Amino acid sequence: MRPDKLTDPVVFEGSTFLILSLQERLHRHKYWPHGARYDAESGEYVRTKSCYRLVRGGLGGVATIGREIKEVIVHHTGGSIVPVGPAGPMSVSAYCVTDPKPSKYVHDGKPDQRYGRSWPGICYHAWIPYAPETVEVLGQDDDLHPILVSKHIIYECWTSGWWIYNTAGRNAHCYGIGLQGSFSHRPGGEPGEPREPSVLQMELLATWWEEWAKPTLRLEDRDLYGHADYGKPTCPGITAYSWLRSVREMQADPPVELPPES
Ligand SMILES: [Zn+2]
């Protein structure tokens, strides 16, 4: 089923996409998974200044068996639409795990940004590329004859049991998915890189939600959120946010009111 050119394990096959796991090769913080240096003399893990940053409860980077997932939270990565393929999540994971250093850029006399986050690993459980790669896999037509079917690639960065950092205050029970790119939260946008997710990216998000997320995480449409619902208005941008709001708020038909008995 799996073409030779795929070197990462296929963990799920949907009607239009494959999920490939990058778990084994994404960057992790140097003290992952313990968040501390192992001291052989005392046999204990010692917290140091450069332990990965503790965020609200400090369980980041910990696999919590049977962790209850209450919601999916959609993000944009806030970065470039390149590189394509696994190099995208690889480069974001390198940034996330680096201990912060003041950048060389100075604003008002202070370094205006710090490179690196000191997190255990990448901040999304899954990643939908802006320009997803296509692979041909063996399928069947209606008469059960073998045919080649094109599928697009979504990346799994962590399995859902891992508590990671993507949304302040929600990380204990959320599953975070990132759309590669930096998208406008207002209609319009500026010149330069695309300010809207690609059509294919949005189609994959919708199909992923139906075919993978809802059944696997045991969620319903009302459990779909965006980072903008939790304090970051610019994430994931107006296109993805409008879509997820419409899914979440899709109501069943209102109950029919029966005429009063006469
Ligand atoms: Zn976000």
Question: Can you give the pLDDT at residue 201?
Answer: 98
The whole-number pLDDT of residue 210 equals: 98
Above 90 in pLDDT, residue 217?
A: yes
Tell me the C-alpha distance between 49 and 133, whole Å.
Answer: 40
CA 178: distance to chain centroid? 3
Q: If we measure between CA atoms, which residue out of 70, 79, 57, 46 comes closest to residue 169? A: 57
Tell me what pLDDT residue 56 has: 46
Tell whether the model's pLDDT for residue 112 goes beyond 60: no
d(CA 59, ligand 1 centre) in Å? 19
Residue 34's pLDDT band, with cuts at 50, 70 and 90, is confident
**Gap between the Cα atoms of 159 and 150, Å rounded:** 25
Nearest to 21 by CA among 157, 177, 211, 185: 157
Average pLDDT along the chain: 86
Q: How far, in Å, from the CA of 235 to the mean position of ligand 1?
A: 5
Whether residue 45 is predicted with pLDDT greater than 80 in this model: the reply is no
CA of 36 to the centre of ligand 1 (A): 27
Whether 173 has a pLDDT exceeding 70, the answer reads yes
Amino acid (one-letter) located at 136 = E
Cα 188 to Cα 192, 194, 224, distances in angstroms = 12, 11, 25
Q: Is the pLDDT of residue 185 over 80?
A: yes
CA contacts within 13 A on the Cβ side of 25? 13
Helix (H) or strand (E) holding 137, with range, is strand 134-140
Query: How far does residue 227's CA lie from ligand 1's centre (Å)?
Result: 5
| Structural domains present in the chain | 10-248 (3.40.80.10)
The angle, 0 to 180 degrees and rounded to 10, between the axes of the packed helices 199-208 and 238-248 is 30
Q: Ligand 1 centre from 71 Cα, in Å?
A: 14
CA 27 to chain centre: 15
Which of 124, 136, 146, 133 is CA-nearest to residue 26?
A: 124
**Which residue did the predictor score with more confidence, 126 or 259?**
126
* CA of 149 relative to ligand 1 center, distance in Å: 33
How far apart CA 69 and CA 223 sit, in angstroms, is 10
**Ligand 1 centroid vs 241 CA: distance in angstroms?**
11
Query: For 108-128, what is the mean pLDDT?
Result: 81
**The token pair that represents 3 in the structure block:** 């073409």
Whole-model pTM: value is: 0.85
Task: List residues, by chain if needed, whose CB lies under 5 Å from ion ligand 1.
Answer: 75, 227, 235
Encoding tokens for residue 150? Answer: 């094109």
If you average pLDDT over residues 198-227, what whole number do you get?
97
Mean pLDDT, rounded, for 51-76? 76
Ligand 1 centroid vs 77 CA: distance in angstroms? 7
Query: What does DSSP say about strands 110-111 and 114-115: parallel, antiparallel, or unpaired?
Result: unpaired
Single-letter code of the amino acid located at 187: P
